[in-house]
Structure 1
Amino acid sequence: MVKRVLMIAYHFPPMHGSSGMQRTLRFARYLPDHGWEPIVLAPSPRAYQQTDSGQLADIPQQVRVHRAFALDTARHLTVMGRYPRVLALPDRWVSWWLGAVPAGWALIKKYKPDVIWSTYPIATAHLIGLSLHRLTGIPWVADFRDPMVQPDYPADPLTYRAFERVENKTVEHCSRAVFAYPVFSIPFNRERIR
């Protein structure tokens, strides 16, 4: 029996200029070979600084892709060269959360996925995963790639605290956390990892 996974990913075609989208594209391409049907929830293309429609051909035909409302605070909500910082925490795409949670809820009701998967480096993706997991109780895999906070990253204290909150909540509530390298090689609260 085929299982379904709701994949929450900011980096996805037609975004241009990010090697990060290859991770989600490869999962979407090869998961069906292992009995999983991927359903991708990505932001509206307007959230991307640059797009390339040629990369849409890289999306496997059997993969359902759904787009949710999203803005880039720095580009869309700037007035006279400034925007309120609260509208860009934990990142400039936090507005995606407003569109993706209802869209994700509708996808969950329609397709009944077995797992929710979200991927960083856009922290808002984990906020969406957290919200949908808490609403539904569906197991959630948080793909960090790298830890969100490190001793000197992010450099801005306000962003650091926002990332730290998202990281703590994610590790506390996710069913599994995936990292690209051993997290114990950097200072990290080991008790938070399952």
Structure 2
Amino acid sequence: MKKILFIAYYFPPFGLGGVQRTLKFVKYLPSFGWQPIVLTVKPGSYFAFDSSLLKDVPAAVKVVRTGSLDPLRALSWLRHSRKEVEPAEPLRRTLSRLSQIVFQPDNKIGWMPFALSKARDVLRQESVEIVYATAPPFTCHLVGALLSKLYRKPLVVDFRDAWTEFQFVQYPTPIHRFFNYFLEKKVIERAIRVISTNEVLSENLRRAHPGAAASKFTVITHGFDPDDFKKRSVPTSRDKFTITYSGSFYATVTPKHFLAAVRQLLDKEPELAKEIKLVFLGMFRKQNKRIVTELRLWEVVDIRGYVSHSESIVGLLDSDLLWLTLGESKGAGAVTPSKLFEYIATGKPILACVPEGAAAEIVRSTGNGTVVPPDDVQAIKKAILTYYTRYRETYDSTSFLIIFVSFLWFK
């Protein structure tokens, strides 16, 4: 079996969406004749952990873990333990801005010497045919490019998000931006294949680097694993119209417009407070809880916090409507969250509060979703009411049928 070195900073037991794509590639590549060797970090302080994901790593896959000198690693040293961290949004923004001034291309650059050292041992011991790097963090791409050059191995890079045009990056100076563009250019020049998660992102990279051969750019979308949906124990009945969101909120990705729409809907139709439930699966920061309090929505809000991936799948299946949001920001049109494809796999309708772009196109293509601007409260309210009305019509029809059949049976 041919061997491929996978350079992935985010890997189980780390949780959150950035892990899923790499994990599933590692799980299924052996079926196509490729044996992954994963190069990643030792678990330290992070936003969320999900050790249950480790069961998807094939026993034959070697996972090589290293130390690192990135900020979250330093935090784990100070706490003398592996621990989940959840900074308040203002603090997260401040730390992010400081990080973008000091660390280039990102604050995982301190992992680079550790990764290169361990990779050297792997490449000397194993007959690796391809070096594969997935990002963010884009330090992974630098590690991959250097290994490719030093050991003359073909390089494949996977852009889960944009690099230079990443939606949440604010470059402190034009020099910072140019330096990142220069690094991105060198990586793309070195790679034999440049994978993106959607056509918008791929086209943006092609336009930004016209000197690169168009043939090296390709798209492998996110997806879902059918195994994750097998034999899930889901409640068979719900007494409320349940809207579920899976994921975190940060920067411009916020629940405030959606919650404001629900508040307006309840002000107009107070009786719906007993009919609707909003479920949030994932980290829900204090400032977002304050929004719930200010809008007097605790009666309909159910915050479950970060749960395992398998529990999140059950939560999606136990819903009537799935909510997706992306904030209005630079580059947001090139983003397709991995959870979108799990939403699609459930067969549930999707309310996508997203800007025009890749995610909006995918939702429309399913024929089972509605796209509205992320900050259009009136459009969100209208969409929720439309889906609730359909739910009531189906629920009432089903209830009547059950009563009618029961009457005939016991007559």
Kindly indicate whether the alpha-carbon contact (under 8 Å) linking 1:74 and 1:92 is maintained by their aligned counterparts in 2: no
Kindly indicate whether the alpha-carbon contact (under 8 Å) linking 1:123 and 1:163 is maintained by their aligned counterparts in 2: no
The residue type paired with residue 121 of structure 1 is: P
Structure 2 residue 94 is matched with structure 1 residue 96: no
TM-score (norm 2): 0.42
Q: 1:118-175 deviations in whole A, cap 9, x for unaligned?
A: 0011111001101111110010101113331228662224553443232111101112
Map of 1:190 onto structure 2: 210
Cα separation, 2, equivalents of 1:49 and 1:40: 21
Map of 2:195 onto structure 1: 178
Q: Would the alpha carbon gap of residues 89 and 185 (structure 1) be closer, same or farther in structure 2, given more than 3 Å must change?
A: closer
Structure number with greater Rg is 2
Q: Would the alpha carbon gap of residues 190 and 151 (structure 1) be closer, same or farther in structure 2, given more than 3 Å must change?
A: farther
Q: Would the alpha carbon gap of residues 151 and 49 (structure 1) be closer, same or farther in structure 2, given more than 3 Å must change?
A: closer
Map of 1:58 onto structure 2: 56
Question: Which secondary structure does the structure 2 equivalent of 1:114 belong to?
Answer: strand
Q: Superposition pairs for residues 1-20 of structure 1, below 5 Å?
A: 2-16=1-15, 18-20=16-18
Q: Would the alpha carbon gap of residues 65 and 173 (structure 1) be closer, same or farther in structure 2, given more than 3 Å must change?
A: same
Kindly indicate whether the alpha-carbon contact (under 8 Å) linking 1:9 and 1:125 is maintained by their aligned counterparts in 2: yes
Kindly indicate whether the alpha-carbon contact (under 8 Å) linking 1:5 and 1:115 is maintained by their aligned counterparts in 2: yes
Q: Would the alpha carbon gap of residues 53 and 22 (structure 1) be closer, same or farther in structure 2, given more than 3 Å must change?
A: same
Q: When the two structures are aligned, how many residues end up with a matched partner?
A: 189
Cα separation, 2, equivalents of 1:148 and 1:40: 22
Kindly indicate whether the alpha-carbon contact (under 8 Å) linking 1:73 and 1:87 is maintained by their aligned counterparts in 2: no
Structure 2 residue 124 is matched with structure 1 residue 124: no
Q: Identify the structure with the greater helix proportion.
A: 2
Map of 1:154 onto structure 2: 169
Question: Which secondary structure does the structure 2 equivalent of 1:192 belong to?
Answer: coil
Q: 1:15-66 deviations in whole A, cap 9, x for unaligned?
A: 12x2121111111111111111010001121263443333322322121100
The residue type paired with residue 172 of structure 1 is: E
Map of 1:34 onto structure 2: 32
Which has the larger displacement, 95-104 or 53-62?
53-62
Cα separation, 1, equivalents of 2:212 and 2:167: 20
Which has the larger displacement, 176-185 or 27-36?
176-185
Kindly indicate whether the alpha-carbon contact (under 8 Å) linking 1:184 and 1:190 is maintained by their aligned counterparts in 2: no
Map of 2:180 onto structure 1: 163
Q: 1:74-99 deviations in whole A, cap 9, x for unaligned?
A: 6628xxx9888675221111111010
Cα separation, 2, equivalents of 1:89 and 1:20: 20
The residue type paired with residue 7 of structure 1 is: F
Unpaired runs of 5+ in structure 1?
none
Question: Which secondary structure does the structure 1 equivalent of 2:17 belong to?
Answer: coil
The residue type paired with residue 13 of structure 2 is: P
Identity of aligned residues (%): 32
Which has the larger displacement, 142-151 or 109-118?
142-151
Map of 1:140 onto structure 2: 155
Cα separation, 2, equivalents of 1:84 and 1:144: 21
Cα separation, 1, equivalents of 2:40 and 2:74: 18
Which one scores higher on RCO, CA 8 angstroms, separation ≥ 6?
1
Unpaired runs of 5+ in structure 2?
76-93, 217-411
Question: Which secondary structure does the structure 2 equivalent of 1:7 belong to?
Answer: strand
